Amino acid sequence: MAAKKAPPRKPLSASVKATLKKKAEGSKFTASQLEKVYRRGQGAYLSSGSRNVPMSAWAMGRVNSFVSGKGGARKADADIAKKSKKK
C-alpha cells in the first residue's frame, strides 16, 4: 500500500504575509522564519487546537509568542530560533 501524499498547502494570504513581514522588521527573525512558525501554528491548531479560536488567530498567537519570547513557542520552535542570522 502506497503512502498517502499530503495535499498541497494553500498559499498564505497577502495580509498575513504583510503582517509577518512587519513583525520581522521589529524583531531578530526573518519573515520566512515567522512564516514557518505560522505554518506550525496552523498544524498545532489542526492537531489539538481550541475550536473557540479561528485557526489564523491561533497561528498568529504562536508567532507573537515566538517573537516576544514569552510562552512556549520559542521552545517549541527552537530549531527555527537557532537559525536566526538577522541582527
Residues 72/65, Cβ–Cβ less than 8 Å = yes
Is 18 within a domain?
Answer: no
The cell numbers describing 58, all together, are 491561533
Is 49 within a domain?
Answer: yes
Number of domains in the chain: 1
Is 65 within a domain?
Answer: yes
Total-model pTM: 0.82
Q: What is the pLDDT of residues 4-34, one digit of tens each?
A: 666 677 888 999 999 999 999 989 899 999 9
Is 15 within a domain?
Answer: no
Residue 10: what pLDDT? 83
Is 10 within a domain?
Answer: no
Residue 40: what pLDDT? 92
Tell me how far apart the terminal alpha carbons of the chain are, to the nearest angstrom. Answer: 48
Is 87 within a domain?
Answer: yes
Residue 7: what pLDDT? 67
Is 19 within a domain?
Answer: no
Q: What is the pLDDT of residues 27-76, one digit of tens each?
A: 989 999 999 999 999 998 888 867 788 999 999 999 999 999 888 888 88
Provide the residue range defining the domain that includes 64: 36-87
